[in-house]
């Protein structure tokens, strides 16, 4: 069946949970016929904290385009990243599976080691391309370098952006590419990526071909440079981009507001092309916030499995199918987007690579009841483990262990492990069983953390060992 022949009933049959509950009600939806599959625009921020846009509670930022996107769709209040750093989450996002199943997912983040996303592994863009979609990545890749790895061998028809983990916003650090050709372009990178995304949308709109546009900004990742900060860019020449003597709340605010402006340009391009209503627009971040981010009401940040390092904003809009102005307490995670998008497009995953994420479509209806999730994380620096099961979370940092109710106690202050020993022991055993099914950690993989001499609120924290943490299996508790 060609993409143009996919009907609304086909989309519903493709939904993994099989429920006709999108938009403003099942009865209305079943009476409609959609002649074309939806377009998908997936917008990813880099290191944005949970509360870093005004619709998530930050009062000192003006983000009208993010807020408008949220008002036209659904805002997730319990969305998680698959990892507390970027390339690991990006592995999960593009495969729909725990990153710890792949060698590239063992790096936190990918730095220096010769590994990457295997071109043979099915991905969101490769699966959509098989279903007749055009696929383009604009922005950050960070899943392995040429000649072995790259977006053009992992499902994307086109690529414009950078391949590493970070670049300067003005010099682009000699890492700006058009397809597999290195290019030079003058300008502020957030603006450049936004302009390129608009051109991509215009081209697809004219062709009337369904498309996936992955728009992966580097903002608001360091270096701390807003659109008027070329002097800061010049200061950093010859120095590490990951500096600890730059940046401010005012700079960070400008970076996010620049990002918001480009999101507005993308939405306007969809509207001008007459394709906004049947375009799924998703916005989220790759991990929790960095040093200038607002992670309230959580503690912790990037590189940490505390809620602040994992909880992220997540918004989905699909005007033709999702009712406006909703919020949901459904727990979601980065790897859910692959099965969700494939179901919306009327296709599915490769049977040999079943996703670990779930299809979220049934939970996008007004009044849909959330279901409990069981999710797992590990992070090599400081031997961190975490399990979320329902409202409860098991957390280990070094040899310290905790049990929290993260719904009632989002700051993770009241350690319940002695009051609730059965739950505590059960979550430890569940984590151990999950971990046994993943690749073991290796000493060779990179892992990063913040130290006491870098951030003043990390008193006495040393640089983490790169030693693998592979605990023995834990026997399941007796019931």
**Rounded Cα gap, residues 404 and 406, in angstroms:** 6
Mean pLDDT value across residues 256-263? 98
Closest CA to 426 of 376, 360, 477: 477
| pLDDT tops 60 at residue 226 | yes
| 446 Cβ neighbours under 8 A, 6+ residues apart | 107, 108, 109, 110, 111, 112, 113, 466
> Which H or E run includes 9?
helix 8-14
Q: What is the pLDDT of residue 427?
A: 98
How many whole angstroms separate alpha carbon 384 and alpha carbon 306? 9
How many whole angstroms separate alpha carbon 291 and alpha carbon 455? Answer: 8
Q: At residue 155, does pLDDT exceed 60?
A: yes
Measure the CA–CA gap between 462 and 84, rounded to whole angstroms: 18
Mean pLDDT of 9-31: 32
User: Is it the case that residue 288 has pLDDT exceeding 60?
Assistant: yes
Q: Please check the confidence at residue 150 and state whether its pLDDT lies above 80.
A: yes
Per the model's pLDDT, the better-predicted residue between 79 and 1 turns out to be 79
Q: What angle (nearest 5°) sits at the alpha carbon of residue 338, between those of residues 128 and 428? A: 155
Those residues whose C-beta lies under 8 Å from the C-beta of residue 54, and which sit 6 or more positions away, are 61, 62, 63, 66, 67
Say how many Å lie between the first and final Cα of the chain, rounded: 50
- In 3D space, the residue among 46, 55, 47 whose CA is nearest the CA of residue 75 turns out to be 55
Assign 21 a pLDDT band (cuts: 50, 70, 90): very low
Tokens of 248: 């401010």
For residue 16, pLDDT over 70 is answered with no
Supply 181's token pair. 């050709």
pLDDT at 409 over 60: yes
Quick one: pLDDT band at residue 265, thresholds 50, 70, 90?
very high
CA distances from 22 to 30, 49, 359, 401, 410 (A): 10, 28, 12, 40, 29
At 445-477, the pLDDT tens digits run: 999 999 999 999 998 888 988 899 998 877 666
Nearest 10 degrees: Cα torsion 128, 342, 302, 47: 60
Say if pTM beats, i.e. exceeds, 0.75: yes
Q: Give the pLDDT confidence of 337-353 residue by residue, as tens digits.
A: 999 999 999 999 999 99
- pLDDT surpasses 50 at 31: no
Closest CA to 395 of 419, 420, 418, 376: 376
pLDDT confidence tier of residue 23, bands split at 50, 70 and 90: very low
What average pLDDT does the segment 42-60 reach? 96
Band of pLDDT at residue 478, cut at 50, 70 and 90: low
Instruction: Return mean pLDDT, the chain.
Output: 92
pLDDT in tens, 350-374: 999 999 999 999 999 988 999 999 9
Closest CA to 141 of 169, 111, 161: 161
Average pLDDT over residues 152-159: 98
What is the percent of the chain with per-residue pLDDT over 90, rounded to a whole number?
A: 87
What's the burial of 409, exposed, middle or buried (CB within 10 Å: 0-12/13-18/19+)? middle
Rounded distance, CA 107 to CA 117, Å?
A: 12
Per-residue pLDDT at 78 exceeds 90: yes
Spatial separation of the C-alpha atoms in residues 238 and 144, rounded to whole Å? 24
297-316: pLDDT as tens digits:
999 999 999 999 999 999 99
The b-or-e profile of 432-450 (16+ CB within 10 A means b, else e) is bebbeebeebeeebbbbbb
User: Could you report the per-residue pLDDT of 89-127, keeping only the tens digit for each?
Assistant: 999 999 999 999 999 999 999 999 999 999 999 999 999
> Count of CB atoms within 10 A of residue 422's CB?
10
Give the sign of the dihedral formed by CA 233, CA 165, CA 450, CA 408: positive
At 11, is the pLDDT very low, low, confident or very high (cuts 50, 70, 90)? very low
């Amino acid at each position: 069946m060609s993409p143009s022949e996919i009907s609304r009933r086909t989309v519903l049959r493709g939904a993994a949970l099989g429920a006709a509950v999108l938009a403003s009600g099942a009865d209305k939806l079943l009476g409609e016929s959609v002649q074309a599959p939806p377009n998908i625009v997936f917008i990813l921020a880099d290191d944005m904290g949970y509360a870093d846009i005004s619709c998530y509670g930050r009062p000192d930022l003006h983000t009208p385009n993010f807020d408008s996107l949220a008002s036209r769709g659904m805002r997730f209040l319990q969305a998680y990243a698959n990892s507390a750093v970027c390339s690991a989450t990006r592995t999960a996002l593009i495969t729909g599976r725990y990153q710890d199943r792949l060698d590239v997912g063992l790096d936190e983040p990918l730095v220096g080691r010769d590994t990457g996303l295997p071109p043979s592994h099915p991905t969101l863009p490769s699966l959509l391309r098989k279903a007749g979609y055009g696929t383009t990545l604009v922005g950050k890749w960070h899943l392995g370098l040429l000649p072995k790895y790259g977006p053009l061998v992992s499902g994307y028809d086109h690529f414009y952006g950078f391949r590493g983990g970070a670049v300067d916003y003005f010099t682009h650090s000699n890492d700006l590419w058009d397809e597999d050709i290195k290019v030079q372009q003058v300008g502020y990178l957030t603006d450049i990526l936004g302009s390129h995304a608009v051109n991509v949308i215009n081209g697809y709109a004219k062709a009337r071909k369904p498309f996936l546009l992955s728009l992966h900004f580097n903002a608001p990742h360091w270096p701390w440079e807003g659109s008027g900060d070329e002097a800061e860019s010049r200061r950093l020449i010859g120095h590490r981009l990951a500096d600890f003597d730059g940046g401010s709340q005012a700079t960070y605010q400008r970076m996010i507001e620049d990002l918001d402006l480009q999101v507005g340009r993308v939405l306007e391009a969809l509207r001008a092309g007459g394709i906004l209503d049947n375009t799924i627009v998703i916005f989220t971040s790759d991990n929790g916030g960095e040093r200038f981010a607002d992670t309230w009401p959580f503690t912790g940040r990037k590189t940490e499995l505390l809620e602040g390092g994992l909880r992220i904003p997540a918004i989905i809009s699909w005007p033709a199918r999702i009712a406006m102005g909703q919020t949901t307490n459904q727990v979601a995670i980065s790897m859910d987007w692959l099965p969700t998008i494939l179901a919306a497009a009327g296709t599915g995953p490769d049977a040999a690579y079943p996703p670990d994420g779930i299809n979220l479509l049934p939970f996008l209806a007004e009044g849909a009841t959330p279901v409990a999730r069981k999710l797992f994380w590990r992070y090599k620096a400081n031997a961190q483990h975490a399990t979320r099961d329902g409202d409860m979370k098991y957390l280990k940092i070094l040899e310290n262990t905790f049990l929290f109710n993260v719904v009632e106690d989002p700051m993770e202050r009241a350690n319940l492990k002695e009051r609730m020993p059965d739950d505590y022991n059960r979550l430890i055993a569940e984590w151990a069983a999950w971990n046994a099914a993943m690749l073991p950690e290796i000493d060779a993989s990179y892992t990063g953390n913040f130290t006491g001499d870098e951030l003043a609120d990390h008193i006495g924290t040393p640089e983490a060992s790169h030693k693998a943490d592979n605990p023995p299996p834990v026997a399941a508790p007796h019931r």
